[in-house]
A and B are shown apart, each in its own frame.
Chain A
Amino acid sequence: MPDSQLIAARHVSTRVDHPAVRWMLIVLAVLVVGVLIIVPVINVFAQAFSAGWTTYWTSLLADADTRHSILLTLIVAPISVAANVVFGVAAAWAIARFRFPGRTLLTTLIDLPFAISPVVAGLLIVLIFGLQGYLGPWLREHDIKVIFALPGLILATTFVTLPFVARELIPVMEAIGPEEEVAAVSLGANAWQTFWHVTLPNIKWGLLYGVVLCNARAMGEFGAVYVVSGRIDGLTCTMPLRVEKLFQQLRHDDMAGSFALASILTLLALVTLAAKVSLERKTRGELAEAAATKIVGAEPLVAETVGTSA
């Protein structure tokens, strides 16, 4: 008889609520999620396809500006994600593997972009790189465009999605512990070999999880890019911006185009969610595995103590 099963079964009786209460609460919860989440998601697709498949595809592909917005998002998001992966791995290595003064401050700084309104984030970038910004005159002299151009979009998106990878990796690396890496170094591995052969295999699912979340937010980012982009069709409109632009034009055809584009973004969200669920299971596995090897490693010690006391 496994103990856990016994305990699980044992505690049920006093914690069980009356069936009527139970079912009422379940129905209420399903209703809340239904109205707030499920109905809107279904509605996006319903409106996107309301005029049939042909209209759907035309409104997506026949419009050059919409096509450009998809392309632009596919350029901006991967660059931001890549930058944040490099940063996230470096930050996690420094914070999870070393103790140093200011470590807590650093962790707080990493979280900061979550606390800043995207609009304010966009404003901060405008303040530096805008025409009247601190670097404005210098940039104009050298004919570099940041605001109302691709670099601005990338900067804004990177800022807003900065914490995702690092926040995901730090707890994973702390839970796994430095033992395996110390072992690798003691066996003569250099920094790169240690990272590539020991650390990365251990954190791969956690890293991927961070990448998935970071990417979803990068593709969907609105407020910050809204401010820095100037929303120039065919030039600086990413997918979410294009959705808004079409929506604001208040023409029937444009509404259909808006929902068609939104349906692509919704699909992206659903894929992200599915990936998230399966990756969560894998990261849990990663941590459980790390815990298991530690226990196995400790076993001879336990046996020894028992042996001497017996």
Chain B
Amino acid sequence: MSIKVDNVTKRFGDFVALDNVCVEAGGGALLALLGPSGSGKTTLLRVIAGLEAADAGTIYYKDENVTSQTARERNVGFVFQHYALFRHMTVFENVAFGLRVRGWSRERIRARVSELLKLVRLDSIEHRYPSQLSGGQRQRVALVRALAIEPKVLLLDEPFGALDAKVRQELRQWLRRLHDELHVTSIFVTHDQEEAFEVADQVVVMHDGRIEQDGTPHDVFEHPANAFVMDFLGNVNVFHGRLQNGHAHVGGLELEYPDYPHSEALQAKVYVRPHELDLDYARGANGSLKARVERVNPAGSVAKVFVLSEEFGIGVHVELSLERYAELNPRPGDTVYVSPRRVRVFVPAAEEGPEYVI
């Protein structure tokens, strides 16, 4: 079932948590609300769930306007950040709760809960209390409890936030698989871009109560809509440059920028991802930045090189493929030339700079 958030605004006192937000998740989608803390993503999730009433705007489940319905009436599965398991109930009782309040018979509950617990392989620990479970098990119980009521929609608030790295990784894939099996329209909140890109079909980036970008993980990563998104996705070199006469000037680099043909100089920020930079011992054709290698770290799937341009006082992070690294074999102290394969320019005033690719 699809979900539509239409022009929703929510204020807490003077603080605007959601500012005219519009989002749409198609039926069966797995959508990630991505943003830094305080961006309004959790508030949006809670408004969708009915845990929070919007000050303005409408929420639709499919074609039904549910804005005035209470959380209870919306039949939504909700997984809380810290799971909110009932600590006085066993795993079984937790999962059965939603069915019990719906007046199901004892036998029907027994059958349904057993089936669900078997599905997620928790049937062997159904008599344990939440305090006797590991973090990953609690997370799975919380999820199954939310799914037991056959919700039309599944909402998850930072579902992996409280887990350690290894368990997180496993549970992400598990959630993805589960979603592929069940096809429940799902929305989850996260501040971790890697998580959003790995799990979701659709990523919505939020900032200061507004939607910055809404698209597929590929779209958002490859074509960030603005400087904030580019910056938030992380691992980026930011240069302060100048636009003039169809060119962008950054340090010693001069790049073509046909979108700004005016002679009047304009300050702009130029963003380059580390893996979109190359190093060479010879000066490149499009103009390149002379720099000295400061640190080299080849441990990992890519080699990380930090170089410093003394002339312009710019430090640059570069990521080389291990093959390229082996070929160049840069050492601290070497003089190298940095050239971008691709840059993005955002004009600060408009914040809506067209992307420029070499």
A residues sitting closer than 8 Å to B (CB atoms) are: 1, 5-6, 9-10, 13-14
Contacts and interface: CB of A to CB of B under 8 A. Distances in A.
Interface string B245-271: 000000000000000000000000000
Contacts of B38: 1
A6 B43 CA distance: 10
B71 A10 contact: no
Given A9-B13, A14-B71, 9 more contacts: A1-B13, A1-B38, A6-B12, A6-B17, A9-B12, A10-B43, A10-B46, A10-B52, A14-B51
Contacts of B71: 14
A5 B70 CA distance: 23
Contacts of A6: 12, 15, 17
A1 B70 CA distance: 27
A13 B15 contact: no
A10 B10 CA distance: 10
A10 B53 contact: no
12 contacts: A1-B12, A1-B13, A1-B14, A1-B38, A6-B15, A10-B46, A10-B52, A13-B52, A13-B53, A14-B51, A14-B70, A14-B71
Contacts of B12: 1, 5-6, 9-10
B51 A13 contact: yes
A9 to B, nearest CB: 4
Interface string B8-37: 000011110100000000000000000000
Interface residues of B, number: 13
Contacts of A13: 51-53
A13 B51 CA distance: 6
Interface of B: 12-15, 17, 38, 43, 46, 51-53, 70-71
A83 B207 CA distance: 64
Nearest to A3: B38
B202 to A, nearest CB: 25
Contacts of B51: 13-14
B13 A5 contact: yes
A14 B53 CA distance: 10
Contacts of A5: 12-13
Contacts of A1: 12-15, 38
Nearest to A8: B12
4 closest residue pairs by CB, A with B: A1-B15, A9-B12, A6-B12, A14-B51
B206 to A, nearest CB: 16
Contacts of B14: 1
Contacts of B70: 14
A6 B39 CA distance: 13
A10 B15 CA distance: 12
A6 B15 CA distance: 8
Nearest to B12: A9
Contacts of A14: 51, 70-71
Nearest to A7: B12
A8 to B, nearest CB: 9
B78 to A, nearest CB: 11
A1 B39 CA distance: 12
A187 to B, nearest CB: 43
Contacts of B46: 10
A153 to B, nearest CB: 49
Nearest to B51: A14
A13 B46 CA distance: 11
Contacts of A10: 12, 43, 46, 52
Nearest to A12: B52
A5 B12 CA distance: 8
Contacts of B52: 10, 13
A14 B69 CA distance: 12
Nearest to A15: B51
A44 B132 CA distance: 55
Nearest to B17: A6
Identify the interface centre among B14, B43, B52: most chain A CB within 10 Å of its CB.
B52
A47 B44 CA distance: 62
Nearest to B11: A9
A1 B209 CA distance: 13
A243 to B, nearest CB: 47
A147 B349 CA distance: 92
B264 to A, nearest CB: 38
Contacts of A9: 12-13
A160 to B, nearest CB: 38
B184 to A, nearest CB: 22
B41 to A, nearest CB: 13
Contacts of B53: 13
B69 to A, nearest CB: 12
A67 B256 CA distance: 104
A17 to B, nearest CB: 13
Nearest to A9: B12
